[in-house]
Amino acid sequence: MSLALIDNLSEATATLRVAMREYDLSGIEKAMVRFRNALDAVQDVGAWHSDPELKARVKQVMAELESSRMLACLLGDMSSQMQTALAAQNLDAPQPLYGRAR
């Protein structure tokens, strides 16, 4: 396995994060396809477990993925808050189907 597969995963992660920050739904969908393909390619090979250099690079990509996960959670919370605020102002607006678990 070369660093190319891991670099491709890192680039796909960065592309997805940019699309999420720009609120670009079409870009997010395209980036998700690229991300899934890149992740599948890395998982299919699996040889990175035995190579220290590849293992270190995967660790770095994992940090990037955690950053993207946190951004996705933040954007989800923001969307929920906006929907709740709009629903409170307009009784005809769609209401949440369930309450948030605390």
* Residue 96 belongs to a domain: no
Inform me whether the pLDDT recorded for 73 exceeds 70: yes
* Residue 20 belongs to a domain: yes
Q: What pLDDT score was predicted for residue 11?
A: 93
d(CA 12, CA 57): 15
Q: What is the DSSP string of 11-23?
A: HHHHHHHHHHHTT
d(CA 20, CA 71): 8
* Residue 97 belongs to a domain: no
* Residue 73 belongs to a domain: yes
d(CA 13, CA 20): 11
Inform me whether the pLDDT recorded for 85 exceeds 70: yes
**Domain around 38:** 3-89
* Residue 99 belongs to a domain: no
Inform me whether the pLDDT recorded for 60 exceeds 70: yes
Total number of domains constituting the chain? 1
